[in-house]
Chain A
């Protein structure tokens, strides 16, 4: 079993004690063997409450470049959590287990990019959403801001969000980048805010974030659709419809999807990113069975092939 080292630093006494206690209970039940070390320089993973972007600790070379678990001990609205791994004190044992196992899995893939404090991270918002989805904290509000300080607030259970109409337009058009979510004290939602459906926010955020595959997805993965996105509410291109239709029929790797639909690599990455963040995708390791399934699924009969071309021309005429 692989061994990983964890350092707990700049965490309040109560939270640090609780974390160590849970750690002792959990060790042996996690995906890898964890060892507590005192110096962050010796650790693979650092658990810290001092995760503010401007803090000296997060700029410390001993911490930079390592996986960071943000320990949230208060609802400090100023905090900017630049890590997908968040634990809120008081801790729940299963949350700690889940975060440790996720990091252990993450560390198996060194090519995955760690959320960085250097410049805007296009995935900061998405990764904090993914971390939040493991917390299930409905009573708490979270806030993210773009570079201009415009804010969007999100409920802890990820069922609702609210922001200025202008900010949502910018998110839709991909002209702004949201930072990570952080706990916020929100007494009431300003009346001028719009409340877009959460899935639309996640879709637009992910599809415009980057032409590269999201950090939590592997190019070696085989992807299959769990549920269709609502293209009646979010705009779609024919390439996206073709890709989603293909993924609804069989699991595909990105190259298989490219062969099946003729979509470009950036189109494929953006779609997979959006489907994944919206929870519409299942991912598995690529297998030989997938390969034969994919090969079997690509033949469309001559009548259908002719019909598809004819129908498309006809529909273009109608539109």
Chain B
């Protein structure tokens, strides 16, 4: 047994936000997916959706493995988020900016993340929102300010690997600046 804590990055967010795509963009291995046919097309119109978790990994030079987890997006699997996020060194929250409920999703997911003690370093990526002055982004940024949170929130397209790398690099910079679990220090 090693006393090295589990190093995991969690990608979370509502259904269709791009968690599976983001993990696939940076994982060293083909991600392990638990997709099934989407039975909730009213929530998001896509063929399949994650029901348990997505899993990928990044192997570092010294043999350390950083596990990449994607949480299921559907609300009924919400209990999995708490399990997966517990002890994470960082969380990347992905949102779909084209949806009317983007701000309430932000609220819901942040609420869960803030309950974690200690709160992991968190970066937010918003997809499908057009330009950087899109109303949804402006509203989301004001919402963060109202909550008293100074979290990075970027407009991203997770199909672009460099956008996913930007989110992870920002998370690394936050960890470097002292954000994240105290137990790791």
Chain A residues with Cβ below 8 Å from B100 are none
- A318–B167 CA distance with the chains assembled, in angstroms: 14
Name B124-177 residues within 8 Å CB distance of A: 125-126, 131-133, 137, 141, 144-145, 150-156, 161-163, 165-166, 168-170, 172-177
Kindly provide the distance from the CB of B184 to the nearest chain A CB, expressed in whole angstroms. Answer: 5
B104 at the interface (CB under 8 A from A): no
Give the B interface residue count (CB, 8 A). Answer: 48
With A200-B132, A232-B154, A241-B169 in contact, is A314–B59 under 8 Å at CB?
A: yes
User: Is B89 engaged at the interface, CB distance under 8 Å to the other chain?
Assistant: yes
Q: Is A249 an interface residue (CB 8 A)?
A: yes
Is A245 among interface residues, defined by CB-CB distance under 8 A?
A: yes
Residue of A nearest to B163 (CB): A232
| Contacting residues, chain A, for B153 (C-beta < 8 A) | 228, 230
Contacts of B169 in A (CB 8 A): 238, 241, 312, 315
Residue in A226, A234, A241, A315 whose CB lies within 8 Å of B150:
A226
Complex CA–CA separation, A231 to B162 (angstroms)? 12
Query: Is A307 interfacial (CB 8 A cutoff)?
Result: yes
B168 pairs with A301, CB closer than 8 A:
no
How large, as a class, is the contact surface on chain A? 35 or more
* Dominant secondary structure of chain A at its interface with chain B: helix
Min CB distance A22 to B, Å, is 34
Contact flag A315-B176 (CB < 8 Å), given A230-B154, A245-B170: no
B residues in contact (CB < 8 Å) with A: 4-5, 7, 26, 28, 58-62, 64, 66, 89, 125-126, 131-133, 137, 141, 144-145, 150-156, 161-163, 165-166, 168-170, 172-180, 184-185
| Subset of 6 A-B contacts with CB under 8 Å | A238-B169, A245-B173, A249-B178, A304-B180, A308-B175, A318-B58
For the complex of A and B, the 4 pairs showing the least CB-CB separation, nearest first, are: A301-B185, A232-B154, A310-B60, A233-B132
